[in-house]
Amino acid sequence: MARNKVEVVRYDTSTEDEEQIGVGLGCEGIIDVLLSPINPEEENNPIRILESCIDSRQPQILLTIIQSDQPGLQAGKMYKYTEHEGELNAILPQEALQDIARALNSGKSAVKHYSGLSVFIEILQPAIQLVLFGGNYDIYPLLRISKELGWKASVVMNPAKANRKVKELADTIYPKNATVPYDEYTAFILMAHDYKTDKENLRMALQTEVPYIGMLGPVKRRNKSLDELTAEGHQFSQQQLDRLYNPVGLDIGATTPEEIALAILAEVKAHFAERQGQPLRERAGYIHERE
């Protein structure tokens, strides 16, 4: 760093020598760290690029050059890649373009090595977005914890009843019956504690393509809502119903609003990560996928 030089430094934490890296990682692995100077005057330095990705609702592809002998690709440089990136497409080897497409399709970042080139293909997924349909006391821990997680969280309620705390924690407050925008990273949580309101919100949610619908309350209440909606002429396919999680949340014995919020958010995370929410000790193989 003192030499202002791009360099990859390897730290071996597989030994018991705590002085090796000095932070007590305890992961018993080998870490390669890319040290690269950042020029604050440069318009497209890594910090500026990351800032431009924060509010995007589409996956972002970042390419960090680890080592390069190829003209136009500088070691330590980060590039924001798009499918129609003409300049990078002309420079990158064909194998790299194929690996970028595979990484985007899988949503998994990867380090790849080619002849005279090593690159970190990083996929930045949009933050999970919660939409809470209800304005009772149990929305507060959901808003607080989701904020700590870096997620987006909005509330659908009577704006006149939204107090200062809700306004501070929620990204957006939508009035009842508003058309709420959503995408493939959005979770609807139905928690109005009013049967008619929850039933109407359930009808609305099932008729959208939102990927996760969580609903508070017992199965008996859900079945009653679905039976009444069917009697009213609304038909729902099995594919639509498969998106409904009720009772919402993982089975962790939650009883308090805070514990219930933890169970709900854990299930939402497991859904979008395509995991089962099982204990890690019961998982076969590595915690994270490896190439």
> Digits of tens for pLDDT over the chain (291 positions)?
788 889 888 887 776 655 555 555 556 677 888 999 988 888 889 999 999 898 889 999 999 999 998 888 888 999 998 866 667 878 888 999 999 999 999 888 999 999 989 999 999 999 999 999 999 999 999 999 999 999 999 999 999 999 999 999 999 999 998 999 999 999 999 999 999 999 999 999 999 999 999 999 999 999 999 999 999 999 999 999 999 999 999 999 999 999 999 999 999 999 999 998 888 888 887 777 666
Instruction: Enter the DSSP assignment of 270.
Output: H
pLDDT given at position 111: 92
Residues in contact with 93: Cβ distance below 8 Å, sequence separation at least 6, in sequence order: 114, 115, 117
**Is CATH 3.40.50.720 the classification given to domain 129-273?**
yes
Question: Which tokens hold the place of 240?
Answer: 């639509």
Cα 269 to Cα 2, 33, 149, 263, distances in angstroms: 41, 28, 10, 10
Tokens 């977005």, residue located: 129
Residues in contact with 74: Cβ distance below 8 Å, sequence separation at least 6, in sequence order: 65, 68
Q: Which of 56, 175, 182 is nearest to 130 (CA)?
A: 182
Q: How far is Cα 130 from Cα 226, in angstroms, rounded to an integer? A: 23
Q: How far is Cα 108 from Cα 170, in angstroms, rounded to an integer? A: 29
pLDDT given at position 247: 95
Residues in contact with 141: Cβ distance below 8 Å, sequence separation at least 6, in sequence order: 257, 258, 260, 261, 262
* Residue extents of the structural domains in the chain: 7-13+26-124, 129-273
Q: How far is Cα 247 from Cα 264, in angstroms, rounded to an integer? A: 10
73 phi, psi to nearest 5 deg: -120, 105
Q: Which residues of 88-121 are buried (b: 16+ CB within 10 A; e: fewer)?
A: beebbeeebeebbeebbeeeeebebeeeebbbeb
78 phi, psi to nearest 5 deg: -110, 140
Exposed/middle/buried for residue 232 (C-beta within 10 Å: 0-12, 13-18, 19+): exposed
Tokens 């330590």, residue located: 76
Terminal Cα-to-Cα distance of the chain (whole angstroms): 31
What's the pTM? 0.84
Q: Which residues of 52-67 are buried (b: 16+ CB within 10 A; e: fewer)?
A: ebeeeeebbbbbbbbb
Are 123 and 100 a contacting pair, CB within 8 Å? Answer: no
Question: Which tokens hold the place of 215?
Answer: 């609903």
Whether the bond between 247 and the residue before it is cis, its omega within 30 degrees of 0, is yes
Tokens 């709420």, residue located: 180
